[in-house]
Structure 1
């Protein structure tokens, strides 16, 4: 099973069990929107803040019900076999990168409903992530390469 199919399984479960419409985030979504291989290593998911704080046990239990094990509580990271899922909160998009999370496009793919960022949104996210040393150092400037690619796309009128 590939990463996107695994994400759809997660999305369908979150839709059904917790009435969450997650955001597909990170390289996996960027790869799908640009049709360019970015070799995502994990599945990045955004959910409403309340599920990471007040309703955490329900979210944790739901993800564990899919066979995942919590491996990092601070990062809300889970692992199962070759899959790693990181969960953050959607409301952080606005203060972090000035992305209006209330206006994201909704997708329904094979019964899995999720929100997605646009190329413009990704430009904002990667521009902001380059300002912090943590991601720049941890990911060997992968964010810079992605931002350069997104800027190229914009220049070509995409």
Structure 2
């Protein structure tokens, strides 16, 4: 699936989150990076971060919203969903500031069909530097 199509799916999800629970999610991961640096990277999935206060209190509701959009929860521990070949990971933005120094509330908000927040290239650099030192990221990379 092309990044353009993945971005359309992001907008579909973000619109639902905007309308139903007032969330303005963060486009994260390699699809977000691809958009930030304006290079069409080969991305595997769509990563979305949701405000911690919403994520921690309304996770089961978020699961229901994803099901309404035709997604199936495939990995409850990772909050990973699939619809056909499209894979979406959803997580909290709760540790973003302490993890990488990036304040999710300071992120730029883009608005087209839906509102979503985006990292700048510099914020991605800070995040990926922190990720390179993170035990979870190292473990996942080794398992691949």
By the TM > 0.5 criterion, same fold?
Answer: yes
- Greater mean alpha carbon deviation, residues 129-138 or residues 83-92: 129-138
Q: Does 1:60 align with 2:74?
A: no
Q: Which residue of 1 aligns with 2:78?
A: 75
Q: 1:103 to 1:44 in 2, by over 3 A?
A: same
Equivalent positions of 1:45-124 (< 5 A) are: 45-109=48-112, 111-124=113-126
How far apart in 2 are the matches of 1:51 and 1:63?
A: 15
Q: Which residue of 2 aligns with 1:10?
A: 13
Count residues with an aligned counterpart. 139
Deviation of residue 135 (structure 1)?
Answer: 2.3
| Aligned partners of 2:56 and 2:92 also within 8 Å | no
| Aligned partners of 2:107 and 2:117 also within 8 Å | yes
SS at match of 2:110: strand
- Greater mean alpha carbon deviation, residues 60-69 or residues 34-43: 34-43
Runs of 4+ in 1 over 6 A off after TM superposition: none
How far apart in 1 are the matches of 2:57 and 2:86?
A: 26
| Aligned partners of 2:31 and 2:43 also within 8 Å | yes
Deviation of residue 57 (structure 1)?
Answer: 1.6
- Normalised by the size of structure 1, how large is the TM-score? 0.82
**With CA pairs under 8 Å and 6+ residues apart, which has the higher RCO, 1 or 2?**
2
Deviation of residue 92 (structure 1)?
Answer: 1.6
| Aligned partners of 2:18 and 2:115 also within 8 Å | yes
SS at match of 1:24: strand
How big is the alpha-carbon RMSD for the aligned residues of Structure 1 and Structure 2?
1.6
